Chains A and B, each alone.
Chain A
Amino acid sequence: MKDDTTRPATSLISRRATIEGDILGNESLAIEGVVKGSVKLSGNIVVETSGNVEADLEAENVVIRGRVRGYVMARQHLVIAPSGKLIGDFAARSVDIQQGAHFEGRSQMLAASPNASTSADKPATA
Chain B
Amino acid sequence: MTTLGAALKFKGHITGDDDLKIAGTFEGEVAIKGELFVASTAVISGDISARSISSEGDMRGMLTAQKTIRLRSGAGMKGSLKTPQLTMEKGALLNGEVTMGPAGQPKTAKTDTLARLVGSPDDRAYKQSGQQPADARSTAVADGVGGETTPVAQTTGKAK
Q: Could you mark each residue 2-36 of chain B with 1 if its beta carbon is under 8 Å from any beta carbon of chain A, else 0?
A: 11111111111111111010001000100010100
A54 beta carbon closer than 8 Å to chain B: no
A20 interface residue, CB < 8 Å from B? Answer: yes
- Number of A positions contacting B (CB below 8 A): 22
Contact of A25 among B8, B12, B17, B18 (CB under 8 A): B8
Instruction: Tell me if B109 counts as interface (CB < 8 A to partner A).
Output: no
A16 touching B5, Cβ below 8 Å = no
Cα distance, A12 to B22, chains bound together (Å)? 10
Cβ of B10: which chain A residues have Cβ within 8 Å of it? Answer: 19, 21-24
Number of chain B interface residues as a range: 20 to 34
- A27 touches B (CB below 8 Å): yes
Chain B: minimal CB distance from A125 (Å): 9
- Complex alpha-carbon distance, A15 and B18, angstroms: 8
Find out whether the CB atom of A11 lies under 8 angstroms from the CB atom of B28.
no
Q: Say whether B1 faces chain A, with CB atoms less than 8 Å apart.
A: yes
| A27 and B8 contact, CB distance less than 8 A | yes
Closest to A41 in B: B8
Contact B5 A25 (CB under 8 A): yes
- A49 at interface (Cβ–Cβ under 8 A)? no
Given contacts A11-B5, A33-B2, contact A16 B18 (CB under 8 A): yes
Which among B2, B5, B13, B24 is the interface contact of A14 at CB below 8 angstroms?
B2
Q: Is the CB of A22 within 8 A of B12?
A: yes
In whole Å, how far is B2's beta carbon from the nearest beta carbon of chain A?
Answer: 4
Listed A/B pairs (27) with beta-carbon separation below 8 Å: A10-B3, A12-B3, A13-B2, A14-B1, A14-B18, A16-B17, A16-B34, A17-B14, A17-B16, A17-B20, A18-B14, A18-B15, A20-B13, A20-B14, A21-B11, A22-B10, A23-B4, A23-B9, A23-B10, A24-B8, A25-B8, A26-B8, A27-B5, A27-B6, A27-B7, A33-B2, A37-B12
* 9 more A-B residue pairs beyond the given contacts A11-B8, A18-B16, A23-B4, with a C-beta to C-beta distance below 8 A: A10-B5, A16-B18, A17-B14, A18-B14, A19-B14, A24-B8, A25-B8, A25-B24, A37-B12
Q: Which residues of A contact B (CB under 8 A)?
A: 10-27, 29, 33, 37, 41
